[in-house]
Amino acid sequence: NAGVTQTPKFRVLKTGQSMTLLCAQDMNHEYMYWYRQDPGMGLRLIHYSVGEGTTAKGEVPDGYNVSRLKKQNFLLGLESAAPSQTSVYFCASRDSTSGRFTDTQYFGPGTRLTVL
Amino acid sequence: AQSVTQLGSHVSVSEGALVLLRCNYSSSVPPYLFWYVQYPNQGLQLLLKYTSAATLVKGINGFEAEFKKSETSFHLTKPSAHMSDAAEYFCAVSDRGNAGNMLTFGGGTRLMVKP
């Protein structure tokens, strides 16, 4: 199993450009998450999905959109990139069949995005 | 709302010394707590988690954490630091009140190990 993979690993954008980050998981997990990591702030949740075709806002959703058309994929879009979106983006997934709140989230390797 | 505070954004220890990374939480319900580790240029991986089964939790790589309800703490310890422990460590609490079962993370503590 590859686990959680993210594409691309690095990207540099100019202000106003758009892009899509792809997250894929092969563990058949229902729940998927997008976080951003900034120095001293830990990870903050952008959007999440509890199943195919569903999405919901997290703590810092402004400027981002997401889609979950297939269970294994979770896309994060930036329509008009801003320098404040320079960050490292992590995707995660977790199983939910047990209904337990203690199930582990599995993280991808991250995408480092710079917006000039 | 849940929150997590990690005291000390940077901790430096000598190889062989005790590692103590502090985590305090705020939660309106009994919490589920996690410690994750992030090695340079990698994603996060689970070290250990508290699920209310036992207050002393043992994780991978010789780490353990003790849940203390009276102190609202979940500090991470390791008796003897190794060079390979150098990484960033994150404490997180599970938000059981939300359908997404989200994690709320602390700001992270970067552990440096001196030879």
Average pLDDT on B67-85 reads 95
Cβ atoms of residues A116 and A83 within 8 Å: yes
Judged against a pLDDT cut of 80, whether residue A33 lies above it is answered with yes
Judged against a pLDDT cut of 70, whether residue A100 lies above it is answered with no
Strands (E), chain A: 4-7, 10-13, 19-25, 31-37, 43-49, 56-57, 64-67, 73-78, 87-94, 106-107, 111-115
State how far residue A104 is from chain B, nearest Cα, in angstroms.
7
Residue-wise pLDDT tens digits, B83-102: 999 999 999 998 666 666 78
Q: Give φ, ψ of B98 to 5 degrees.
A: -115, 140
State how far residue A106 is from chain B, nearest Cα, in angstroms.
7
Q: Report pLDDT for A2.
A: 77
Q: Do A101 and B107 touch (CB under 8 A)?
A: no
Judged against a pLDDT cut of 80, whether residue B110 lies above it is answered with yes
The dihedral region occupied by A25, where left means phi > 0, alpha psi between -120 and 50, and beta the remainder, is: beta
Average pLDDT on A49-59 reads 93
Q: Report pLDDT for B98.
A: 63
A83: preceding bond cis by omega (within 30 degrees): no
SS (H, E, C) A81-112: CCHHHCEEEEEEEECCCCCCCCCCCEECCCEE
Q: Do A33 and B43 touch (CB under 8 A)?
A: no
Chain A CB contacts of B30 under 8 Å are none
Residue-wise pLDDT tens digits, B25-65: 987 777 889 999 999 888 899 999 888 778 899 999 999 99
> How many whole angstroms separate alpha carbon B31 and alpha carbon A101?
10
Edge to edge, what strands does the sheet with A73-78 contain? A4-7, A19-25, A73-78, A64-67
Confidence of residue A41 (pLDDT cuts 50, 70, 90): confident
Chain B CB contacts of A90 under 8 Å are 43-44
Across the interface, of A40, A41, A107, the residue whose CB is closest to B43 is A107
DSSP letter for B94, please.
E
Q: Tell me how crowded residue A115 is: count the other CB atoms within 10 A of its CB.
A: 19
Give the SS3 label for residue A27. coil
Q: State chain B's mean pLDDT as an integer.
A: 90
